C-alpha cells in the first residue's frame, strides 16, 4: 500500500531518470484521456502522497495512487506485469518506460495555477520531507477536526499533515501506546506533536531501499501492522485488527498496551 515514503522514493527515481529527458509518448487514460508526443521533463517531485511530473511547457501531471495504484519501470519492449488497459499513465523515454497502474486520480495542471496552489495549500505540511512545523500542524488538527475524531483519523487526514498512511498510523500509535480510538479532545498538544514527529522519523527512515521497517528491536519489521493474532512485543498478548475511523481502514493495535479507556470513543 503506497504511503508518503513510497511516493517520495518513486519521485526520486523518476526525477533522476527523467529530468531533462524527452518523453516521446505520454499517454494518459481515464476521464480525460490524452496523448502527447515529445515533452521535456523539468523534474518530478512529490507532496504527501501526490506525485507531480513537471514538464517544461508549464504543465504538471499529477497522480495519486490511492489504495491500489503502483508505478512500474520497464526497459522499452519488456513485458508489463499488468494489462495495458489498467495503465493510467504511460511515459515512454528511450531508456525506460514508466507506467502508473490503477491510479486513483490523474490530472493535468498548469504549474503555479490556482488549482495547483490550492491543492498544495489544502494538503498539510509534508511530513516525509520536512520535520513537521508543529504549530501549523496543531492549528490544522484543532481547526479542521471535531473533538470526537478518533486518533486514527487525525493521523490519516492529509489536510493536517501529508504523507502518513495506514501502516504508519498503526505503528506510531503503538509506539506511543495510544489507543487508536482515543478522541482528539483528550489528546494534548504535546502528545500530538510527538505523534507527528514520530511519523516524520519513521517515514524518513524508510526513504532508502529495502522493506519498510518501523521497529527497532530487529525481531520483525513492524510492531503491529499486519500482525493480527501475533504476540505483542510489549506484553506478549495477541495483536488485534479492527476497521476503524471514518473510512473504516484496517487498524492494528495491542488492546493491553494501548488500552487506556481515557477519552475512548464509545462505539
Quote the Cα angle for 175-181-187, to 5°.
70
Q: Does 64 bind Zn ion (CB under 5 A)?
A: no
Cβ(126)–Cβ(48) under 8 Å? yes
**Interface with Zn ion by CB under 5 A: which range of 39-47, 112-120, 175-183, 249-257?**
249-257
DSSP-derived secondary structure letter, 189: H
Q: Does 256 bind Zn ion (CB under 5 A)?
A: yes
Cβ(60)–Cβ(110) under 8 Å? yes
CB closer to Zn ion out of 178 and 257: 257
Q: At what angle do helices 4-18 and 189-205 cross, to 10 degrees?
A: 40
CB closer to Zn ion out of 3 and 198: 198
**Interface with Zn ion by CB under 5 A: which range of 63-71, 83-91, 114-122, 246-254?**
246-254
Q: Does 178 bind Zn ion (CB under 5 A)?
A: no
CB closer to Zn ion out of 64 and 256: 256
**Interface with Zn ion by CB under 5 A: which range of 23-31, 114-122, 138-146, 254-262?**
254-262
Residue among 167, 251, 257, 263 that touches Zn ion (CB under 5 A): 257
Which residues share a beta bridge with 47?
Answer: 50
- The alpha carbon of residue 220 and the mean position of all alpha carbons in its chain are separated, in whole angstroms, by 22
CA distance 174 to 258: 7
CA distance 23 to 149: 45
Sheet holding 87-92, edge to edge: 70-74, 97-101, 87-92, 22-28, 34-47, 50-55, 59-64, 105-110
**Interface with Zn ion by CB under 5 A: which range of 27-35, 57-65, 77-85, 252-260?**
252-260
Q: How many residues bind Zn ion (CB under 5 A)?
A: 6
CB of 47 to Zn ion, least distance (A): 35
> Binding string to Zn ion for residues 195 to 234, with x set by CB under 5 A, is what?
-------------------------------------x-x
Name the grid cell of 189.
Answer: 498538544
> Binding string to Zn ion for residues 68 to 107, with x set by CB under 5 A, is what?
----------------------------------------
Contacting residues toward Zn ion, per CB under 5 A: 232, 234-235, 254, 256-257
Amino acid at each position: 500500500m503506497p504511503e508518503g515514503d513510497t511516493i517520495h522514493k518513486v519521485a526520486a527515481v523518476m526525477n533522476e531518470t527523467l529530468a531533462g529527458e524527452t518523453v516521446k509518448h505520454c499517454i494518459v487514460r481515464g476521464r480525460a484521456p490524452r496523448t502527447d508526443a515529445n515533452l521535456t521533463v523539468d523534474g518530478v517531485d512529490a507532496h504527501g502522497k501526490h506525485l507531480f511530473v513537471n514538464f517544461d511547457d508549464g504543465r504538471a501531471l499529477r497522480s495519486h495512487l490511492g489504495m491500489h495504484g503502483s508505478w512500474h519501470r520497464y526497459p522499452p519492449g519488456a513485458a508489463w506485469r499488468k494489462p495495458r488497459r489498467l495503465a493510467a499513465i504511460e511515459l515512454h523515454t528511450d531508456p525506460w518506460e514508466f507506467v502508473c497502474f490503477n491510479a486513483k486520480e490523474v490530472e493535468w495542471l498548469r504549474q503555479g495555477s490556482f488549482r495547483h496552489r490550492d491543492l498544495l495549500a489544502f494538503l498539510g505540511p509534508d511530513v516525509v520531507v520536512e520535520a513537521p512545523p508543529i504549530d501549523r500542524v496543531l492549528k490544522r488538527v484543532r481547526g479542521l477536526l471535531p473533538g470526537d475524531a478518533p486518533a486514527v483519523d487525525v493521523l490519516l487526514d492529509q489536510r493536517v499533515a501529508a504523507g502518513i498512511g495506514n501502516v504508519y498510523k498503526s505503528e506510531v500509535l503503538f509506539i506511543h501506546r495510544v489507543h487508536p480510538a482515543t478522541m482528539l479532545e483528550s489528546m494534548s498538544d504535546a502528545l500530538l506533536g510527538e505523534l507527528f514527529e514520530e511519523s516524520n522519523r519513521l517515514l524518513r527512515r524508510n526513504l532508502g531501499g529495502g522493506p519498510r521497517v518501523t521497529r527497532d528491536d530487529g525481531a520483525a519489521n513492524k510492531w503491529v501492522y499486519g500482525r493480527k493474532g501475533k504476540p505483542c512485543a510489549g506484553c506478549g498478548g495477541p495483536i488485534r485488527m479492527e476497521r476503524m475511523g471514518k473510512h473504516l481502514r484496517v487498524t492494528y493495535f495491542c488492546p493491553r498496551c494501548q488500552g487506556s479507556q481515557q477519552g475512548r470513543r464509545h462505539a
